[in-house]
């Protein structure tokens, strides 16, 4: 089967460039999409979730946590432009657990928090829960 390639980028770094891929599962704000070779051109908003790059027989599968951003599919090249991204082996479970606990404590008080701050801490909780889920799912 013919492959296509994927670039995963954040504002701070290039997470992965030219990853060979036979199938790509992308979390979007409207649900998950599956991209295969010769997929129609698409530009869509990303949601928080697991990005799965399935490499096929010759290339390993790779899994990433991503949060909000843009995905562009064009001519067998996919660009994932995400606000944050971590590959499964980069996730620090203890750090994620601490971030989850801190955000939950701050959100529980809700005293003096603006609507923007409440949304910020809800996103922190969502991101920490995703990181913990991915870490546990792929723990060796």
Specify the pLDDT at position 42. Answer: 92
Q: What is the pLDDT of residues 47-65, one digit of tens each?
A: 999 999 998 777 788 999 9
Please calculate the CA angle 33-84-66 and round it to the nearest 5 degrees: 25
CA distance 90 to 92: 6
In a 3-state reduction of DSSP, which class is residue 117? Answer: helix
Specify the pLDDT at position 28. Answer: 94
CA 3: distance to chain centroid?
Answer: 21
User: What is the H or E stretch that residue 93 is in?
Assistant: helix 93-109
Specify the pLDDT at position 1. Answer: 53
Specify the pLDDT at position 38. Answer: 87
Specify the pLDDT at position 113. Answer: 82
CA distance 17 to 5: 8
Q: What is the pLDDT of residues 63-120, one digit of tens each?
A: 999 998 999 999 899 999 999 999 888 888 899 999 989 888 888 887 788 888 888 8
Kindly report whether the global pTM for this prediction surpasses the value 0.85. no
Share of the chain above pLDDT 70, in %: 97
Q: What is the pLDDT of residues 119-140, one digit of tens each?
A: 888 888 988 998 998 888 877 5
């Amino acid at each position: 089967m013919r492959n296509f390639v994927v670039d995963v980028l954040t504002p701070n770094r290039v997470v992965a460039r030219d990853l060979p891929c036979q199938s790509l599962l992308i979390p979007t704000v409207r649900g998950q999409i599956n991209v295969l070779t010769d997929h129609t051109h698409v530009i869509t908003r990303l949601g928080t979730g697991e990005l799965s790059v399935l490499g096929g027989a010759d290339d390993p599968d790779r899994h990433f946590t991503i949060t909000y951003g843009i995905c562009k599919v064009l001519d067998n090249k996919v660009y994932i432009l995400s606000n944050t991204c971590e590959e499964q082996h980069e996730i620090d479970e203890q750090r994620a657990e601490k971030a989850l606990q801190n955000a939950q404590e701050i959100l529980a008080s809700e005293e003096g928090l603006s609507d923007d701050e409440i949304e910020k801490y809800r996103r922190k909780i969502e991101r920490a829960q995703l990181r913990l889920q991915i870490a546990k799912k792929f723990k060796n």
